[in-house]
């Protein structure tokens, strides 16, 4: 029998009558992500998703890596199918895991008997396979608590499956089950992480980025598009809406006190993001704000930002410290791009002494000097978008 990939489901299994809708969405996401790696039959049984290659030309390495980044999957393993017979299972384990068994110093065998008609209990099967493997690989020590290698045997409906230790999957919920959000994507470390965290909860994302030529460079814009490309393997297809912000920022500088620059700028960002949300049917906004990290991220400053919005604003990294955020950014592959030294519009006209504890009424009063609707209208009329698909 051929090699295949087994995917273990996470919190999907806790769903009630609507569980099948989550599983259907996960299977659809997997089929879409894996189509560039060849023809696979993908189906779900007993809280396990089977990814079976249908031809010798399938890219198993690429498919295995891709499956690790699909939200809704908690563990991924490459496995070999064999007949539901104890000797066939043993032979499969010896052949398929020979390299791992030779390299390891300690091991154990775990068996799961989903097919209750199989004549041996899970414990008896583990003891039989473990004993025979110990005879065949005498250098191995049995360690049931902290083994270097765990040999997994799963006896299921169609066949028995043998594999080594599974690797972690992305977890979370299938993308698309949590509705749609507009995520503000800067060129920094925090906003890609915040976007990834919302996608992990099943939210489909539309990205919006603000740029201010000539104060920001084409390279800065390309950096943001690259961040979106790095997120696509996790989040699926992304649309990046780019909104020119130069006129708005220059008007703020001309008409508002310097210490209010950042506060008023953030309010304009929310208004523009809500225009995007209205176009795409999104029900919330997402930012990478982290409490206390910079002067514009105090409780009062964020309240001032929310005052300009009508949609909920989610801040997934709000309580994380920088090291936690960096750790995730390294995991998802965005860190090295995020730290490239290209400016973004948030660094344009940065006040020397920003107001950190504003009163909302005062911010509204300062902002009244501006043609708010006209500025937003002109920015959005000049906005453009780019679609970034998986595999491009």
Can you spell out the DSSP letters for 328-347? HHHHHT-HHHHTS----GGG
- Residue 211 to residues 31, 161, 198, 217, 249, Cα–Cα distance (Å): 35, 52, 23, 8, 10
Residue 313, beta-bridge partner list: 285
Which residues neighbour 294 within 8 Å (Cβ) at sequence distance 6 or greater? Answer: none
8 Å CB contact between 313 and 306: yes
pTM: 0.91
- Coil, helix or strand at residue 169: coil
Which residues neighbour 47 within 8 Å (Cβ) at sequence distance 6 or greater? Answer: 8, 9, 12, 13
Tokens 């539901």 found at: 84
Tokens 């908690």 found at: 74
Q: Whole-angstrom Cα distance, residue 108 to residue 129?
A: 10
Which residues neighbour 60 within 8 Å (Cβ) at sequence distance 6 or greater? Answer: 3, 5, 37, 53, 78
Q: Which of 31, 56, 29, 57 is nearest to 42 (CA)?
A: 31
Q: Whole-angstrom Cα distance, residue 192 to residue 337?
A: 11
Tens digits of pLDDT across the chain (392 residues)? 689 999 999 888 878 888 899 999 999 999 999 999 999 999 999 889 999 999 988 999 999 999 999 999 999 999 999 999 999 999 999 999 999 999 999 999 999 999 999 999 999 999 999 999 999 999 999 999 999 999 999 999 889 999 999 999 999 999 999 999 999 999 899 999 999 999 999 999 999 999 999 988 899 999 999 999 999 999 999 999 999 999 999 999 999 999 999 999 999 999 999 999 999 999 999 999 999 888 778 999 999 999 999 999 999 999 999 999 999 999 999 999 999 987 777 777 777 888 889 999 999 999 999 999 999 999 999 999 999 998 76
Token readout for 283 is 């029900």
Burial (CB < 10 A; 0-12, 13-18, 19+), residue 117, is: exposed
Q: Which of 90, 96, 105 is nearest to 136 (CA)?
A: 90
Tokens 């992500």 found at: 33
Tokens 């039959």 found at: 41
8 Å CB contact between 207 and 174: no
Q: Which of 277, 320, 275 is nearest to 297 (CA)?
A: 320
Cβ atoms within 10 Å, residue 328: 20
pLDDT for 292 equals: 84
- The strand pair at 40-45 and 73-82 is best described as unpaired
Q: Compute the half-sphere exposure of residue 120: CA atoms within 13 Å on the CB side of its CA.
A: 19
Tokens 């009244």 found at: 368
Cα-Cα-Cα-Cα dihedral sign, residues 171, 174, 180, 183: positive
pLDDT for 392 equals: 66
- Coil, helix or strand at residue 138: coil
Tokens 């709000």 found at: 318
* Sheet arrangement for strand 180-184: 313-314, 284-286, 180-184, 204-211, 238-244, 384-388
Does residue 278 have a cis bond before it (omega within 30 degrees)? Answer: no
Token readout for 309 is 């919005």
């Amino acid at each position: 029998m051929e090699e295949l990939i087994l995917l273990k489901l996470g919190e999907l299994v806790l769903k009630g009558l609507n569980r099948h809708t989550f599983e259907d969405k996960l299977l659809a996401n997997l089929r879409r992500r894996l189509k560039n790696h060849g023809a696979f039959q993908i189906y779900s049984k007993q809280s396990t998703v089977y990814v079976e290659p249908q031809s010798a030309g399938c890219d198993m390495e690429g498919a295995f890596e891709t499956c690790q980044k699909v939200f809704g999957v908690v563990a991924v393993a490459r496995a070999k199918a064999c007949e539901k017979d104890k000797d066939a299972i043993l032979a499969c384990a010896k052949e398929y895991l020979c390299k791992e068994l030779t390299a390891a110093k300690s091991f154990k065998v775990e068996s799961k008997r989903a097919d209750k008609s199989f004549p041996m209990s899970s414990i008896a099967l583990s003891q039989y396979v473990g004993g025979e493997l110990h005879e065949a690989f005498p250098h191995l020590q049995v360690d049931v608590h902290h083994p270097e290698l765990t040999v997994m045997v799963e006896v299921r409906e169609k066949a028995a499956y043998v594999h080594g230790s599974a690797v972690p999957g992305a977890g979370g919920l299938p993308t698309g089950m949590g509705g749609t959000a507009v995520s503000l994507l800067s060129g920094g470390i925090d906003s890609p992480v915040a976007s990834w965290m919302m996608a992990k909860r099943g939210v489909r994302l539309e990205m919006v980025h603000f740029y201010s030529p000539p104060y920001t460079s084409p390279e800065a814009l390309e950096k943001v598009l690259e961040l979106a490309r790095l997120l696509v393997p996790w989040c699926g297809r992304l649309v990046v809406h780019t909104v020119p912000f130069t006129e708005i920022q220059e008007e703020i500088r001309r008409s508002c006190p310097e210490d209010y620059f950042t506060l008023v700028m953030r309010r304009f960002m929310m208004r523009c993001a809500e225009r995007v949300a209205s176009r795409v049917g999104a029900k919330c906004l997402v930012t990478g704000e982290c409490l206390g990290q910079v002067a514009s991220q105090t409780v009062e400053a964020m309240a001032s930002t929310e005052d300009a919005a009508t949609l909920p604003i989610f801040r997934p990294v709000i309580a994380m410290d920088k090291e936690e955020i960096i750790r995730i950014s390294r995991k998802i592959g965005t860190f090295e791009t995020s730290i490239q030294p290209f400016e973004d519009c948030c660094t344009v006209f940065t006040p020397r002494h920003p107001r950190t504890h504003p009163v909302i009424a005062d911010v509204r009063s300062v902002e009244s000097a501006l043609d708010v609707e006209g500025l937003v209208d002109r920015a959005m009329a000049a906005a453009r978008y780019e679609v970034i698909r998986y595999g491009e």
